Amino acid sequence: MSGKDSLQIALAVASCRFSRRILRGINRGGTSLPGKLAMWFRRDILAIASEGVETILVTGTNGKTTTAAMLSHAMQEAGRAPLSNSSGANLLSGVTAEFAAAADLRGRPLRGRKNPDQPADADMGSGQYAVIECDEGALRHVAPLLKPRVIVVTNIFRDQLDRYGEVMHTLEAIREGIRLAPEAVLCLNADDSLVASLALDVPNPVIWFGMEETAVQNGDKGRFSVSTGEETENRPLSPKNRPLSPDSPDRISDARYCIRCGREYTYSYHTYAHLGDFRCPCCGYARPLPDIAVTSIDGINAVESRVYMRIPDREPAHRDTIPQERVSEKSISQKLPVRIALPAVYNIYNAAAALAAYAALKLPLQEILKGLEHMKSSFGRMEHFNIGRVSIQMILVKNPAGCNQALDYLCSIKEPCSIVLCLNDLDADGHDISWIWDVDYEKLYGRGNIRRILVWGRRAEDLQLRLRYAGFEEKRIRRVPEKELKKLLDVIYRSQVPVFILPNYTAMLPLRDALRRAAGKDSFWKG
């Protein structure tokens, strides 16, 4: 390495560390600018600082933050102390900042030494690992530099139309990133027809995860709600509140037609949105049998999910393409009870993805199983705050699929509660908020336990109008002006019942900051 190269690398690392220390000293995250400074001195500093690191890269529309947090927590508990971007900075600059800040002045990853951003008692151990959440659009930039050992793709849904475009644009962005990482093991959602297509025509080994029909049906008790873990209720519904059939085209609008031949899929069962046992009746493209499979859901409550999963006894076999004919059972597997310290069906999918990643990295599965039992909610994702006598839960929502799942979770709550819906349209959210008209708010109508609904944010009036179309009387909806955050917080703090807050991204930030200060939590960049 030339003297010029050495100087560039040293300046890149030093500028990253110094700027981050200053920014965090004034209680700013320091998640993006330090990485940009590092890349200004040395464009490929990420490739240098990550060399030899066993990296799991997690991407997808929904669930990547929680899946990455599950993996990081399990590794941390097992003494592996992985590097992670728990602050949520998942673009190239944010990922670069994490690695550059944890490198020495020659750009070498720190081994056996403490990562400055990990807890004081953390130890890097004898090896080095990283769990990195990556934005779908940034994968093509991050993957070739990072050279991950594992790439997890959670799902692909319609999200931020003015940034990503339709789902096919997101799919192709992820596909390009995978093509630039041919050595990575892919952990793919078998139930998502879009994600499953990523295995076509690539050399990467694949580990599949998904949910079996036995998890969707509850024996002879009739339909089983994968959203709540309870039998569906037989209560009368108003026409405005009648939920969509699981087979309704509106439920699978993101991926209704075969990606190979254009014929409409048939389903033997759905879990939610377009996820389920899909098959094309024309070309035979179909859901592959998962290696990591949820076989039953024994219960979901406000704090946990209890399931059984089928887990292979040995490393899953490599498959280059999706077979058109599927075998009925994995030859060698075991079924284990799994407790996930988070509620909702999408977190069950996230847990299955985390198990698949652990298997791909050939780490002991008992580590991730134990980690899932003690998992804590991450930054705004099912995050709990206890302020005085008020229990508050924040659930980030940013697209129809995720919001519908959050509403399904709220419908499982039997106790009296209040709901706060928050909507902004800033750059990080996407300026197009038309997605709220694809959300099934009607399912909240007639729920007698919902004492109050508040709406807040730049587009609160749009939310108010949407709820009126869902059947809610205007007097049941209270709109708090955007500039009156303190008034909103005062209403929340004085609540006599638990409060559930459903914000999109930029609406979440000031709310979470106020709530974490009131609850005595750390800043977001401290995890």
What are 421's strand-pairing partners? Answer: 455, 502
**Residue 200 domain-assigned (yes or no):** no
Higher pLDDT, 58 or 89: 58
Note whether 149 and 225 are same-domain residues.
no
At residue 37, the pLDDT reads: 95
Are the C-beta atoms of residues 184 and 148 closer than 8 Å to each other? yes
For residues 464-477, average pLDDT: 91
At residue 428, the pLDDT reads: 83
**Residue 201 domain-assigned (yes or no):** no
Query: Given phi > 0 = left and psi -120 to 50 = alpha, else beta, which region is 276?
Result: left
Least confident of 43-52, 83-92, 501-510: 83-92
Note whether 355 and 389 are same-domain residues.
no
What's the structural domain count of the chain?
3
Token pair in block for residue 393: 């839960």
Query: In this predicted model, what pLDDT tens digit does every residue of 62-91 receive, in sequence order?
Result: 999 999 999 999 999 999 989 999 877 899
Note whether 150 and 249 are same-domain residues.
no
Residues 6+ apart with CB under 8 A from 138: 90, 91, 92, 95
* Residue 110 in this model has a pLDDT that exceeds 90: no
Higher pLDDT, 243 or 230: 230
At residue 463, the pLDDT reads: 95
Token pair in block for residue 58: 């997690």
At residue 289, the pLDDT reads: 95
Instruction: Round to whole Å and give the CA distance between 338 and 335.
Output: 9
Average confidence score pLDDT of the chain: 84
Kindly report the CATH number assigned to the domain that includes residue 469: 3.90.190.20
Query: In this predicted model, what pLDDT tens digit does every residue of 309-343 receive, in sequence order?
Result: 999 876 554 444 444 444 444 445 789 999 999 98
Neighbours of 432 (CB within 10 A): 11
Least confident of 50-64, 75-89, 112-126, 181-195: 112-126
Note whether 225 and 277 are same-domain residues.
yes
For residues 9-20, average pLDDT: 94
**Residue 454 domain-assigned (yes or no):** yes
Note whether 253 and 366 are same-domain residues.
yes
Helix (H, G, I), strand (E, B) or coil at 464: helix
Alpha helices in 103-247 (DSSP H): 139-146, 161-164, 167-179, 193-196, 213-216
Instruction: Give the predicted TM-score (pTM) of the model.
Output: 0.84
For residues 165-186, average pLDDT: 91
Query: In this predicted model, what pLDDT tens digit does every residue of 430-448 receive, in sequence order?
Result: 888 989 998 999 999 888 8
At residue 105, the pLDDT reads: 93
* Residue 163 in this model has a pLDDT that exceeds 70: no
Residue 475 CB burial class (10 angstroms; 0-12, 13-18, ≥19): exposed
**Residue 480 domain-assigned (yes or no):** yes
Query: In this predicted model, what pLDDT tens digit does every residue of 445-459 receive, in sequence order?
Result: 888 889 899 999 999
**373, 391, 421 - which closes a domain:** 373
**Residue 197 domain-assigned (yes or no):** no
Least confident of 193-202, 231-240, 490-499: 231-240
At residue 330, the pLDDT reads: 46
Instruction: Round to whole Å and give the CA distance between 212 and 171.
Output: 24
At residue 151, the pLDDT reads: 98
Q: What is the DSSP letter of 232?
A: P
Are the C-beta atoms of residues 161 and 399 closer than 8 Å to each other? no
Q: What is the DSSP letter of 337?
A: E
What amino acid occupies position 527? G
For residues 373-382, average pLDDT: 80
Note whether 398 and 498 are same-domain residues.
yes
**Residue 203 domain-assigned (yes or no):** no
Residues 6+ apart with CB under 8 A from 235: 446
Note whether 339 and 442 are same-domain residues.
no
Higher pLDDT, 14 or 314: 14
**Residue 453 domain-assigned (yes or no):** yes
* Residue 258 in this model has a pLDDT that exceeds 90: yes
Note whether 163 and 76 are same-domain residues.
yes
Residues 6+ apart with CB under 8 A from 169: none
* Residue 231 in this model has a pLDDT that exceeds 50: no
Nearest residue to 269 (alpha-carbon basis) of 292, 245, 293: 245
Instruction: Round to whole Å and give the CA distance between 121 and 108.
Output: 22
At residue 122, the pLDDT reads: 38
Are the C-beta atoms of residues 150 and 357 closer than 8 Å to each other? yes
**342, 373, 404 - which closes a domain:** 373
Pairing of strands 276-279, 266-270: antiparallel
Note whether 321 and 390 are same-domain residues.
no
Percentage of the chain exceeding pLDDT 90: 62
Note whether 135 and 247 are same-domain residues.
no
* Residue span of the structural domain in which 391 resides: 381-526
Instruction: Round to whole Å and give the CA distance between 1 and 9.
Output: 11
**Residue 202 domain-assigned (yes or no):** no
Instruction: Give the side-chain half-sphere CA count within 13 A for 337.
Output: 6
Least confident of 23-37, 393-407, 500-514: 23-37
Instruction: Round to whole Å and give the CA distance between 497 and 513.
Output: 22
Kindly report the CATH number assigned to the domain that includes residue 77: 3.40.1190
**373, 390, 425 - which closes a domain:** 373
At residue 526, the pLDDT reads: 54
* Residue 230 in this model has a pLDDT that exceeds 90: no
Neighbours of 447 (CB within 10 A): 15
Higher pLDDT, 522 or 427: 427
Percentage of the chain exceeding pLDDT 70: 83
Neighbours of 83 (CB within 10 A): 28
For helices 139-146 and 92-101, the axis angle rounded to 10 degrees is 30
Nearest residue to 77 (alpha-carbon basis) of 376, 280, 332, 294: 376
* Residue 416 in this model has a pLDDT that exceeds 70: yes
Instruction: Round to whole Å and give the CA distance between 399 and 17.
Output: 35
Note whether 400 and 262 are same-domain residues.
no
CA separation, residue 196 to residues 256, 287, 366, 402, 419 (Å): 14, 7, 27, 19, 36
Are the C-beta atoms of residues 101 and 193 closer than 8 Å to each other? no
For residues 122-141, average pLDDT: 78
* Residue 126 in this model has a pLDDT that exceeds 50: no
Nearest residue to 254 (alpha-carbon basis) of 188, 179, 165, 345: 165
Reduced 3-state DSSP string for 354-410? HHHHHHHCCCCHHHHHHHHHCCCCECCEEEEEEECCEEEEEECCCCHHHHHHHHHHH
Token pair in block for residue 466: 């949407």
At residue 324, the pLDDT reads: 42
At residue 141, the pLDDT reads: 97
Instruction: Round to whole Å and give the CA distance between 517 and 527.
Output: 14
For residues 252-259, average pLDDT: 79
* Residue 123 in this model has a pLDDT that exceeds 50: no
Pairing of strands 129-133, 54-59: parallel
For residues 266-295, average pLDDT: 94
Helix (H, G, I), strand (E, B) or coil at 131: strand
Helix (H, G, I), strand (E, B) or coil at 172: helix
Note whether 262 and 387 are same-domain residues.
no
